[in-house]
Chain A
Amino acid sequence: MTAVDASCPTTPSTNPSSRLTCNAVPPRILKTSAEPAALLPDRFRAWFAARGWSPRAHQLALLEKAREDRSALLIAPTGAGKTLAGFLPTLVELSSAPVAPAKSVVSTGRTLQRSGGLHTLYISPLKALAVDIARNLERPVAEMGLPIKVETRTGDTPVSRRQRQRRYPPDILLTTPEQVALLLSSDDAPFLFSSLRRIVLDELHALVTSKRGDLLSLGLARLWRLAPQLRAIGLSATVAEPDQLARVLVPQPGGKEAAADIVIAGGAAPPLVEMLDTRERLPWAGHSARHALPEIYELIKANKTTLVFVNTRSQAEMLFQNLWSMNDDGLAIALHHGSLDVAQRRKVEDAMSAGRLRGVVCTSSLDLGVDWGDVDLVVNIGAPKGSSRLMQRIGRANHRLDEASRAVLVPANRFEVLECRVAIDAIADNAQDTPPLRTGALDVLAQHVLGCACGEPFLSDELYEELRTAAPYANLSRQDFDDVVEFVASGGYALKTYERFARIRQDKEGRWRVANPKVRQSYRMNVGTIVADDMLKVRLVRSRGGGAGSVIARGGRLLGEIEEAFIEGLSPADTFVFSGEVVRYETLVEDQVYVSRANDKDPKVPSYMGGKFPLSTYLAERVRRLLDDGRAWNGLPEQVRDWLSLQREVSRVPAVRELLVESFPRANKHYLVCYPFEGRLAHQTLGMLLTRRLERARARPLGFVANEYAIAVWALGDMSFMIRDGRIDLNALFDPDMLGDDLEAWLAESALMKRTFRNCAIISGLIARRHTGEEKSRRQVLFSTDLVYDVLRKHQADHVLLRAARADAATGLLDLRRLGDMLARIQGHITHRELDRVSPLAVPVMLEIGRESVYGEAGDELLAEAADELVKEAMS
């Protein structure tokens, strides 16, 4: 191993590996000038030497930043000794501090200070990671004999230990954003945190993309006030805008931007990524990659340990079953995904650490987490979705810096070949496409404001100034802040009838405090920003074979859990894949779904619900460029080249800025297919709005499907003819004004919008996650947030919670912002092709019909259909 990994060279031309790290590097990158001797105490140098190690440049760089009293963002690939780098300043400082005689001092109030106390907070998005890091820290602490106490605090920590930690805090506390919020809302917070010197934020790139990041940032703002001497170290994978990420780590001064210094660990070899050159025929559609199973199996067999990433849980289940069915060599292959029981996941992780596994089929559940040294190959099945995400996954292989990570991409269909091709190019360019820094959500702010009132009473002016030091809230308007405080106090309603029920009240000095202890209790029960999907238990029973509603014996073997939203879309006797087999839906009783074994080979209802993440804007752009550049097709498999050439012959291959729209008849229906390449979330929204407009144009649309690349709408009306004679004007059909009234009208009833609102209502604390003891049963809830949404929308459309839900809709399930950008881009660039049959490019999305759910908010047609069945039944 090289003695010291090169810090990023100032001239990036010579070193071939420099492209991995040096784009967008700001000039204030540290060049390690200081000698290790000056930065590392003897004890540490001896420890490094005893292990045959030398401190790495970025590890020393962070020590130097600490000595200069600066906060820093370390950007490093996995395997770079990131965690040790983050803790070195802490360990060095604590090793030289006198042993604190703190044990005799007990917290009794807010003013009590003591020497010693909590020195460093470490925050990770995963509890398991916090626990693992604690184990890893114990070693240097023990081996150097450092007088340092390290403890973890998570939801699993026993109450007695949590109480003890508040009175006798350890030197280093490893915890999660939610636990920090809880600690900050306690009376002990000033006592606990005033001594805080350092905070280490692990996997920062992952934390900041969600509302958890907002919550964490607000907590940081509070910590900076309680402990002005606090300095932060962020640990992150490579991101598109490191400057923006570095802002999260320091208090934002009003009006200007401030950022932590950035340290980039260099020296990693660029990954070796290839696309599986399959011997088989590439499927037109689907996500199972079944065609490549033998080849995937061979890859696992040929390597020591392989991580096989897929995009959804059901894909993971399927692939795992299929691999085992051909596992003649008895390879140790395991399954890991978020819906598995925690104990089972830990077992897989332990077996992995011990090197007992040859392959693990996993979902994004393994995107983050504990480092395993022995993974030598990553296989990514299906669409890579984004280049940064893919690079992070690939980084899970081979944690030795000087060896290249190896990865094989396996496209599951032809469009995914294009996506894999551009993802490989993007990785070669080291092009990052992580999302931009969030604007802080108002529902999270409401939760935080209530948390603040649970602790020390606050003045609005002071809290407002404090909040804006948090990067996501730096531009928070005073109006929004005041509205949020009003909301927390008495609901923020124009009709001021709830003053007497206020949850927080102002005292004579204008300080807000909680109105009663119950409020504090309910805050504690509801802290956090993760709203879990409602899950139902799936039990296997014997079918009675009767019609819907026949009585089913209770009990049955528990197969696992499934999303309630999925089950709601099923009718009895529908079949779907669960736990690796095709099952028949029998009935739902309270929170139990009863299924029986089905004889069907193919499920009637697909359970591929799409990945959580849509194709990134960046990769989409590259796919469009690849399509537009006929010469670049040479890099594609022959089958794909032929497919595109045929498309060029019979229709057209869309240009980069262009939106291609095709229309054609098929089996008594008329189809309109367009190719925006903006990801399925934006496409679903667009599909909803298009069908509304086509309805108004009297094209009589019946439904649509959307995938990552295209949308197909079908109708009774002859849309080709209507376009020809001007009754459908495509420019008007795709006019951005659809994001006005049409969107508003749809949002009024959209199930996705209602789900978004429900999440905001829970996070903001309007309603509790659980009304303990008040809920009669799952099927009879006390009130439905859908009804609350309807009423609020009608009577106070600008209410702060609706504003929060709208902000979420822009980037979340409805992806409105991206849709808006696309509509603006294609204005005046719409090309229509009238065809007499389906085009080659349309085949993949057309094949989704009947496989994917048909979108369209169900309405009277669905009910009328069910009513018709009744008539038929009666007449037969």
Chain B
Amino acid sequence: MAGHRRAKATPSFGRLYLAMTEQVAFSVTTTRSVDVEGIALHADLSGALFWEEQRLLVVSDLHLEKGSSFATRGVLLPPYDTVATLGRLAAVVARHDPRAVIALGDSFHDRTAHERLSADDRDAVAALQAGRDWIWIAGNHDPALPRDLGGTIADEIAIGPITFRHEPTGARGEIAGHLHPKARVSARGRSMERRCFASDGMRAVMPAFGAYAGGLSIRDAAFAKIFPRSGFVAHLLGDRRVHAIAASRCY
């Protein structure tokens, strides 16, 4: 299949050295092709989506400062989620060097999350934005986006046949986030659950990118509303590859 990228193992893929299957021990297929309305997009192993032709990278549901958001309510989750999320974002940006980045909503876990960003985190965001367009799409967690963090703010954005918005409506050509799709696959007493892209070739829902963002099973009724006919595909984020598996095979 054309469009696959093969990246050399880097230190961030150190786990490869312990890989269980030999044939992929020293290379990693970081993307898999996902077509939406005839546009070839790449589902990246990190959970980002890359539109090569446009050099556009899309990430959804970063949920920055989710840890500290819980801390305000006495649940003192480790305060490293923002650093972890931005670090992974920096890695995927470095890999694809996009001309533009869309953060597809719920970039911040709550309305005041941006105020809790550390100076280092702000610098990291600024560094990611340097030399490229950056678009913050509003989400239900962050309807009022901060004005002091660079980038452009929008409710949705259309490029060619594709519309990017946070909450999926089921419209054709729509790429959305919000639902945090995940899927479980099992066989012979073993099972694993992973975040995934969900797509039926006409629309897609992206996985959450944030370090603490949980998931909703693609067998939840919410997905049935978006993919009217059964038969969408889950693109599961494996350890080294993205795997396309029929949604009916997952739960």
Interface residues of A (CB under 8 A from B): 490-491, 493, 495, 497-498, 501, 503, 518-519, 522, 547-549, 568-572, 587-588, 605-606, 691-692, 695-696, 698, 700-701, 742, 745-746, 748-749, 766-768, 779-784, 787-788, 790-792, 794-796, 799, 853-854, 856-867, 869-870, 873
A766 and B75 CA atoms in complex are apart in Å by 6
Q: Which residues of B contact A746 (CB under 8 A)?
A: 18
Tell me the bound Cα distance from A537 to B184 in angstroms. Answer: 19
Q: Check B22 against A695 for contact (C-beta < 8 Å).
A: yes
A547 / chain B contacts, CB cutoff of 8 Å? 248
Q: Which segment of B53-61, B157-165, B237-245 sits at the interface?
A: B237-245
**Interchain residue pairs A-B with the least CB separation, the first 9:** A491-B76, A853-B189, A795-B80, A549-B248, A863-B243, A858-B192, A569-B189, A858-B190, A501-B71
Contacts of B247 in A (CB 8 A): 549
Q: How far is the CA of A498 from the CA of B78 in the complex (A)?
A: 9
B80, A791: Cβ atoms closer than 8 Å: yes
CB neighbours of A799 from chain B (8 A): 78
Distance between Cα atoms of A159 and B77 in the complex (Å): 33
Chain B residues within an 8 Å CB radius of A865: 187
CB neighbours (8 Å) of A854 from chain B are 188-190
Task: Give CA–CA (A867, B29) in the complex, Å.
Answer: 15
Interface centre among A547, A749, A858 (most CB of B within 10 A): A858
The CA-CA distance from A490 to B22 in the complex, in Å, is 44
The segment from B35-43, B141-149, B213-221 found at the interface with A is: B213-221
Contact of B78 with A491 in the complex, beta carbons under 8 Å: yes
A783 touches which of B74, B186, B214 (Cβ 8 Å): B214
- Do B241 and A796 have beta carbons less than 8 Å apart? no
Q: In this assembly, does B169 line the interface, its C-beta being within 8 Å of a C-beta of chain A?
A: no
Q: CB-CB < 8 A to A779: which residues of B?
A: 216-217, 220
- 15 new A-B contacts, CB < 8 A, other than A749-B15, A780-B215, are A490-B76, A491-B79, A497-B79, A498-B71, A498-B76, A503-B74, A568-B184, A695-B19, A696-B18, A766-B77, A795-B78, A795-B84, A857-B192, A867-B244, A870-B246
A-B CB pair tally, cutoff 8 Å: 187
A208 to B220 CA separation, bound complex (whole angstroms):
44
Interface string of B20-33 (1 = CB under 8 A from A): 11101000000000
CB distance A860 to B248 under 8 Å?
Answer: no
Flag if B212 contacts A788 (CB, 8 Å). Answer: yes
User: In the complex, which of the residues B78, B230, B246 contacts A493, with contact meaning CB atoms closer than 8 Å?
Assistant: B78
Set B75, B79, B189, B192: member contacting A495, Cβ < 8 A: B79
9 A-B pairs within 8 Å (CB atoms) are namely A493-B79, A498-B68, A549-B219, A568-B186, A570-B189, A784-B215, A854-B190, A859-B21, A867-B243
Chain A contacts for B79, CB-based, 8 A: 491, 493, 495, 497-498
Shortest Cβ distance from A605 into B: residue: B189
B138 interface residue (CB < 8 Å to A): no
CB distance A568 to B245 under 8 Å? no
* Chain B residues in 8 Å Cβ range of A742: 18
In the bound complex, CA of A869 to CA of B68 (Å): 43
B91 in the interface (beta carbon within 8 A): no
Partner of B77, one of A588, A788, A864: A788
Q: Which residues of A contact B215 (CB under 8 A)?
A: 780, 784
- Alpha-carbon gap, A112 to B68, bound state (A): 42
Separation of A701 and B21 alpha carbons in the complex (Å): 9
Instruction: Verify if B5 is at the interface (C-beta below 8 Å from A).
Output: no
Most chain B CB inside 10 Å of its own CB: which residue of A491, A787, A853, A864: A787
Among B78, B193, B233, find the residue whose CB has the most chain A CB atoms closer than 10 A: B78
Contacts of B217 in A (CB 8 A): 779-780
Known: A587-B251, A861-B21. A501 touches B81 (CB 8 A): no
Given A791-B80, A795-B83, A863-B194 in contact, is the A691-B20 Cβ separation under 8 Å?
yes
Q: Is the CB of A860 within 8 A of B74?
A: no
Q: Are A859 and B192 in contact (CB under 8 A)?
A: yes
Within 8 A of A (CB), among B195-220: 211-217, 219-220
Query: Which of A493, A522, A782, A791 is packed against the most chain B CB atoms within 10 Å?
Result: A791
Chain A hits for B187, CB < 8 A: 571, 862, 865-866
A794→B11 CA distance, assembly (Å): 14
| Inter-chain contacts of B184 with A (CB < 8 A) | 568
Can you name the residue of chain B whose Cβ is closest to the Cβ of A503? B74
Question: Is B66 interfacial (CB-CB < 8 Å)?
Answer: yes
A522 neighbours in B (Cβ, 8 Å): 74
Query: Is the pair B245, A866 in contact by a Cβ cutoff of 8 Å?
Result: yes
CB contacts (< 8 Å) of B76 on chain A: these are 490-491, 493, 498, 501, 503, 766
Say whether, besides A779-B217, A869-B249, A859 and B239 are in contact (CB < 8 Å). yes
Interface residues of B (CB under 8 A from A): 15, 18-22, 24, 66, 68, 70-72, 74-81, 83-84, 116, 118, 180, 184-194, 211-217, 219-220, 230, 233, 236, 238-241, 243-251
B30 CB to closest chain A CB (Å) equals 13
The smallest beta-carbon distance between B175 and chain A, in angstroms, is 21
The listed residue (B15, B194, B216) touching A745 by CB distance below 8 A is B15
Task: Write out the residue numbers on chain A whose beta carbons fall within 8 Å of the beta carbon of B80.
Answer: 493, 495, 791-792, 794-796
Distance from A595 Cβ to chain B, minimum over Cβ atoms (Å):
14
Q: Tell me the minimal C-beta distance from B33 to chain A in angstroms.
A: 14
Cα–Cα distance between A746 and B248 once the two chains are bound (Å): 31
Residue of B190, B193, B213, B239 most packed against chain A (CB within 10 A): B190
A860 touches B216 (CB 8 A): no
Q: State how many angstroms separate the Cβ of B184 from the closest Cβ of chain A.
A: 7
Assess whether A787 is in contact with B212, with CB atoms less than 8 Å apart: yes
Contact assessment for B84 and A791 in the assembled complex, using a CB-CB cutoff below 8 Å: yes
**B78 partner residues in chain A, CB cutoff 8 A:** 491, 493, 788, 791-792, 795-796, 799
Q: How far does the Cβ of B7 sit from chain A's closest Cβ, in whole Å?
A: 16
Which B residues are in CB contact (< 8 Å) with A856?
20, 190
Cβ of B236 and Cβ of A588 under 8 Å apart? no
Does B186 contact A745, Cβ atoms closer than 8 Å? no
Interchain CB contact under 8 A, A866 and B249: yes
Cα distance, A497 to B238, chains bound together (Å)? 33
Residues of the A chain whose Cβ atoms lie less than 8 Å from the Cβ of B245: 863, 866-867, 870
Which A residues touch B220, using CB under 8 A?
A: 779-780
Q: Given that A568-B186, A791-B81 are contacting pairs, would A860 and B241 also be in contact in the complex, using a CB cutoff of 8 Å? A: yes
Cα separation A237 to B66 with both chains bound (whole Å): 50
Bound form: Cα–Cα A794–B78 in Å: 11
Q: Which residues of B contact A490 (CB under 8 A)?
A: 76
Interchain CA distance A873-B240 in the complex, whole Å: 24
Contacts A795-B83, A858-B190 given; indicate if A768 touches B75 (C-beta within 8 A): yes
CB distance from B181 to the nearest CB of A (A): 11
Expressed in whole angstroms, the Cα–Cα distance for A873 and B247 within the complex equals 13
One of B24, B70, B191 near A860 (C-beta < 8 A): B24
Contacts known (A501-B76, A782-B214); A859 close to B20, Cβ less than 8 A: yes
A759 vs chain B, min Cβ distance (A): 17
Q: How far is the CA of A547 from the CA of B81 in the complex (A)?
A: 40
- Closest A residue to B237 by beta carbon equals A863
Whether A863 lies near B189 (C-beta < 8 A) is: no
Query: What is the minimal beta-carbon distance from B171 to any residue of chain A, in angstroms?
Result: 24
- Are A860 and B243 touching (Cβ within 8 A)? yes
Question: In whole angstroms, what is the CA distance A782 to B248 when docked?
Answer: 25
Given contacts A497-B68, A858-B192, contact A700 B75 (CB under 8 A): no
**Inside 8 A of B250's CB, which chain A residues have their CB?**
866
> Residues of B contacting A864 with CB < 8 Å?
238, 241, 243
Complex CA gap A857/B189 in Å reads: 11
CA distance A782 to B220 in the complex (A): 16
Given contacts A605-B188, A863-B192, contact A548 B248 (CB under 8 A): yes
**Bound complex: CA A19 to CA B1 (Å):** 76
In the complex, what distance in Å separates the CA atom of A795 from the CA atom of B72? 21
Asked if B190 contacts A569 (CB within 8 A), the reply is yes
Contact A787:B188 (CB < 8 A) given known A493-B78, A691-B20 = no
Q: How far is the CB of B155 from chain A (nearest CB, A)?
A: 24
| Distance A756 CA – B194 CA, assembled complex (angstroms) | 20
Chain A's nearest CB lies how many Å from the CB of B78?
5
User: How many Å from the CB of B230 to the closest CB on chain A?
Assistant: 7
User: Nearest residue in A to B23 (C-beta to C-beta)?
Assistant: A700
